[in-house]
């Protein structure tokens, strides 16, 4: 799996969560603009932020990374 595929899965999970970017940013400890960059640009979070995003979105990191399909 390529980075662009991982980024796409992350964007899809954020969009499907129904959580507003501002609220997600608060939960993860980043700015809303940073979450927007994850959604609109080819920006990937640092590993610690990625782990927090997965927890906040209630999604498994191995799914986003393409290791599993669930």
Q: What is the pLDDT of residues 5-43, one digit of tens each?
A: 888 888 888 889 888 889 999 999 999 999 888 888 778
For the chain, the structural domain boundaries read 3-64
Higher pLDDT, 5 or 52: 52
Task: State whether CATH 1.10.260.40 applies to domain 3-64.
Answer: yes
52-59 long-range contacts, CB within 8 A, separation 24+? 52/27, 52/28, 53/10, 53/14, 53/24, 53/28, 56/19, 56/24, 56/27, 56/28, 57/13, 57/14, 57/17, 57/19, 57/24, 58/17, 59/13
Q: What is the pLDDT of residues 53-69, one digit of tens each?
A: 999 999 999 999 888 87
């Amino acid at each position: 799996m390529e980075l662009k595929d991982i980024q796409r899965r992350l964007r899809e999970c954020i969009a499907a969560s129904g959580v507003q970017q501002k609220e997600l940013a608060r939960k993860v400890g980043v700015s809303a603009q940073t979450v927007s960059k994850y959604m609109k640009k080819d920006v990937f979070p640092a590993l610690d932020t990625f782990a927090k995003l997965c927890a906040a979105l209630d999604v498994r990191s191995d799914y986003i990374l393409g290791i599993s399909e669930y």
